[in-house]
Each structure stands twice: as C-alpha cells, then as structure tokens.
Structure 1
Amino acid sequence: MNLFDSHLEEKTLRCFVMAFLVGCLPLHARAQQPVHLDNNAVLLENFENDTKHNYPHKWYDRDGNKKLVNHSESFLQDYLYKVKNRGRNNFLRFEGKAAKHISLPLVNEDKDNIYGIDIYETPILSWKVRAHKLPMNASEDDDDRNDSVASIYVAFDMGRVALFKKVPKTIRYTWSSTLEKGTELSKFFGNQKIVVIESGPEKKGEWMTFQRNIVEDYKRLFGDPPPKTPLAILILSDGDSTGSWVKADYDDIMLKPERSSK
C-alpha cells in the first residue's frame, strides 16, 4: 500500500522515506565498548580501522538493513562512499551524483544503547568536512534543487504524525551551495530541521571542523528536550537534483562534553 500522496515531488518523497526508514535499525547491532578520548569525548568514527578503497565497516545502507561491507557490488553501485588515505590519516570520501545516505546506528531495534551514549553528558557533536566540488546552484529549501556537498543528520525518536505514520525527528547540518550560513529550515511536517553550517565554495579544499550542541539545537528547533540517545548518525552528499558531480570528505565524528568543545 502506498502511504505517500502522489503529488509529492520525487526528491521530497525520497527524503521523506529516508527519514522514515531511519527507524528500521538493525536488530543485530550489538552494544560496543565506547571509545573515550582524553577529553572524555566519545569517538563514533574516524575510519582508521577501515581499509583503503573499501566501504566503512560500521556503516549500514540507507534502510538500516545490512552493513555496506556485506552487500553485493551491484547493490552498492549508488553508494558512492569509500575510505581514502593521505599520509597516516583515513577519511571517508563521497564522489558522484547519487542521493543515498549511509547510517551509523546508535541504538538497535530493541533500543539497546550501542555506544552507551548520553547526549546530556556529551552534547557537542563534532565532525570534519572537506568540500571539493559543490552541487551547482543547489538549495536545500527547493525540492527541485535539494542537493548538498555534505550533510550530517542526527536522527532521534519518533516525531509528529506525517501521512498517517510517525517518523523520526532529524536535525540535518548541511554545507549549502547557496543558502546563507545560519539559515534554519523546517520540513516534513516539522519532523526535519535543517541548519546551514557553511555556505558557498570559499572554504572548499580545506578541512573544516564543525561543532554543534545537539541538546540545545533540539530544544530550540523542536521545543522539547531530546531523548538521551539518538537513533543514528547519517551522512549524505548528493548532486542528483541539479545533475552535479559532487566531491566531499568526512572525518572524526564524535560527541564531546560541553566543557571540552573549545
């Protein structure tokens, strides 16, 4: 049965389905010993344990069904994320047009807390992005141009009813081609909030470190306190709506205590 109205634009529908499917987290994802750094940060991913030119071994397909490394090459033809290496550093690179996100679950289907995360203790989401090629004339507030060189989503528990279903609340932190830094948008019946954390090509080619207090952002954007453990972290780069070739790198995704965020 089709749960979605036929008048929705194709990209809007795909993004809405993406948000809904975040809830389909893998039952077999087991609790892991969190990696605590010297500043009490919880390291979620730095790709150092991955193999060059391969998919990152902890990340799942967009439906949360199976790890990327366990899929066939034919299935993965639109998952354009591969681990790269420069010197002693591994990082994740997206290169292409396809619009498929990858997912790092933080809880499983039984709501087990995989990494032992409490965002009230480590509210600062920190990550690095290096943008090489931005989608031309893309804009996250236009469904016909809704591409981004680099976005990280934090997916939380179920939000408002949308088209007869509850969907996860998500905050999308995006590097926009055209929207001004600091722009905030609301989509999908208020269930997805978009925050523009960088804009335009001026900083392309540079590693940029971004930090956001996801507890404070959630309270401001949704109007209530967040659950202590998000469902998942998502990564999405794409250029399909504008027909653009996009290239971006990701690294060092972690949750940090507020006092160590400087």
Structure 2
Amino acid sequence: MTATIEQAIMTFHLALTHSARSVAPRAHVLAALLACGLLLAHATPAGAQASAAPAQAGAPTAPGAAFSAGTPGGPLPAGWKNLPVARGKASTHYSLVTDDHATVLEADASASASALMHKGNNLNLEATPQVSWRWKVEHPIDEADNSVAAKEDAPARLVFMFDGDTDKLSLGERTAMKLAKTLAGEELPYATLMYIWSNTAPVGTVVDNPHTSRVKMIVVSGGPDATGKWLTLSRNVEQDFEHAFKEKPDKVTAYGLLTDTDNTGGSARAWYGDIRFGAAK
C-alpha cells in the first residue's frame, strides 16, 4: 500500500510506550496494538461506508470540505473516505443531512471509531494556515476523558496529520514507530494535531495523548453550555502546531473529522459544517 491516509489514520490510538531499555516481546506488543486500535484495516471491510467517486483526473480540488454543496442522503464529497482505525472496530457512520437550513455532515458513533479523512496534498499550510469550521454536539460523552487511555473519546474532532524528520525524535519514539511499522507494515505520521470537544478540560488546554507524545489535542469547545447549538470556530493550524510541538510544522499529509466512542462504549452524535482554509488572521 502506498503512503496514503490509510497509513496516517493508525496513529489515533497508539498504545506503545517503549524505550531503548524496555522492548516488549513481539506477541505482547502486537496484542497491545490490536487492543488499542493501532492496526488499520488494509482493505475496507464489507458493509463499510463508501465515499463519493474521485474527482475527474486533472480537476483541481480546493482544500477543505463543502458539505453544504452536497445533497442530503447523497454521496460524501469526492476525496473523503470513512476509514476504520482497526479491524474489528465498528465504524462511525457519516452522512449528509439537513440542519440549520443547510446540508451538513452528521456523525453517529455507537461504541465505534472511524474517521472521515482527506489527503493533505491539496493544502498549502504556509499560504492558508487559518482553518474555519462549524460543529454541533448533541450531548457530551459522560465517561470521556482525553487524558486517560481507557476513556479517550470525543464527540467531535478536527484532525491534522503531518510529515516530519523522524531523526529529530527520541530513541524511544523512533523505536516505537519502527516497531509499529514492522507489525503493521505501514508508516505512522510524524505528528498529529487535533482540535477537540471536551467536557473535562477547559477551552485552550493542550492535552497530551495518553499513549504517545506525537499526538496533541487542543480543546476548542466543550461543557454543557456548548451542547445542542452550532459553534463557529477558527484556528491558525501553523501557530497551534508550533505551540503544541515546539517546532514548525512540515507538510500536512491528511486532515479530517473524527467522532469516536470506542473506548467508553458510549454513543455520540455530532454535526459538522463546511471546512475552509484561508490566510492568517
């Protein structure tokens, strides 16, 4: 499989915290990877949700997502794929519906985890680092806590995955990535930045993924006052990456949306409006 989004999505639930002095046996590590959803299904499982047909060859595709241009009940926008995080995991269902007098994306999760993703090859982060979007969450996931591995779910996320120089990482991080590639047969992203909805951490908090330092989550909305209504958000991805990772970002390899409840086993419903990129504000 070539270097596509399918490879990048595997980072979501990385459960590997090795160092040069402590490397678990292969069978133990493989079990941990499977349990935490690292291994991406290499082929779309039967019954998995299909995306729209690809755009015509040579036709330029603007970065972002114009869900409002779609038809309720119709196909997802071209170039977007609903990707499972691992074999055996139930998939979140993504569909176009009408809400607030517009066509939007609805995400329904029930003990499930899959992400609606797009390749990052149409995004120039240097020229258009500002991302703007809307989302609405029906209700919090009561047991969710993004700082705790067994509770690491969120009703709404906006996700960016990045390339980078792995030689700059610690020996332990490089060991984990090489081992994951050996077991899964795929490369992991250099870094992943998420904007999340949280009911446990204040807005503005940078939450470290409980399994790996290569995933950072920035809380942009949450709490009881933020449920049941549309929220309009805008962030400078370039600046946020530098703040979270203490370095400048490389190119974006993939971006997308994720509503997941696989760790808590709960349910969640969220709606996403159009995603747009523009110059820094």
* TM score, norm. by length of structure 2: 0.69
Query: Percent of pairs identical after alignment?
Result: 22
Paired residues of 2:33 and 2:39 also in contact (CA < 8 A): no
SS in 2 for 1:118: coil
Counterpart-to-counterpart distance in 2, 1:201 and 1:81: 24
Paired residues of 1:137 and 1:242 also in contact (CA < 8 A): yes
Counterpart-to-counterpart distance in 1, 2:221 and 2:70: 28
Paired residues of 2:92 and 2:109 also in contact (CA < 8 A): no
Amino acid across the alignment from 2:234: Q
The equivalent residue for 1:68 is: none
Q: Could you give the per-residue CA deviations for residues 68-126 of structure 1, whole angstroms, max 9, x where no partner exists?
A: xxxxxxx997241110013651100012311111211122xxxxxxx3x3212211111
Q: Could you give the per-residue CA deviations for residues 129-179 of structure 1, whole angstroms, max 9, x where no partner exists?
A: 111122112111111111111001111114542342452111011001222
Q: Is 1:255 aligned to residue 261 of structure 2?
A: no
The equivalent residue for 1:121 is: 127
Amino acid across the alignment from 1:191: R
Paired residues of 2:193 and 2:216 also in contact (CA < 8 A): yes
Consecutive unaligned residues in structure 2, runs of 5 or more: 1-25, 41-53, 182-186
The equivalent residue for 1:40 is: none
The structure in which a higher percent of residues are helix is: 2
SS in 2 for 1:231: strand
The equivalent residue for 1:5 is: 29
- Residues 1-262 of structure 1: matches in 2 within 5 Å? 5-6=29-30, 8=32, 13-14=36-37, 16-17=38-39, 32-35=59-62, 44-58=64-78, 59-62=80-83, 78-86=91-99, 88-97=101-110, 98-107=112-121, 115=122, 117-158=123-164, 159=166, 160=169, 161=174, 162-164=176-178, 165=181, 167-168=188-189, 169-187=191-209, 188-227=211-250, 229-259=251-281
Report the CA distance between 1:258 and its aligned residue: 1.4
Counterpart-to-counterpart distance in 1, 2:100 and 2:241: 37
Amino acid across the alignment from 1:128: R
Counterpart-to-counterpart distance in 2, 1:55 and 1:173: 26
Counterpart-to-counterpart distance in 1, 2:275 and 2:58: 18
The count of residues paired between Structure 1 and Structure 2 equals: 223
Q: In 2 relative to 1, CA 247–182 (structure 1 residues): closer, same or farther, beyond 3 Å?
A: same
Paired residues of 1:123 and 1:255 also in contact (CA < 8 A): yes
Report the CA distance between 1:3 and its aligned residue: 8.7
Paired residues of 1:148 and 1:174 also in contact (CA < 8 A): yes
Counterpart-to-counterpart distance in 2, 1:211 and 1:243: 30
Q: In 2 relative to 1, CA 245–77 (structure 1 residues): closer, same or farther, beyond 3 Å?
A: closer
TM-align CA RMSD: 3.1
Q: In 2 relative to 1, CA 3–209 (structure 1 residues): closer, same or farther, beyond 3 Å?
A: farther
Paired residues of 2:84 and 2:114 also in contact (CA < 8 A): no
Q: In 2 relative to 1, CA 60–138 (structure 1 residues): closer, same or farther, beyond 3 Å?
A: same
Counterpart-to-counterpart distance in 2, 1:51 and 1:61: 18
Amino acid across the alignment from 1:190: S
Amino acid across the alignment from 1:237: T
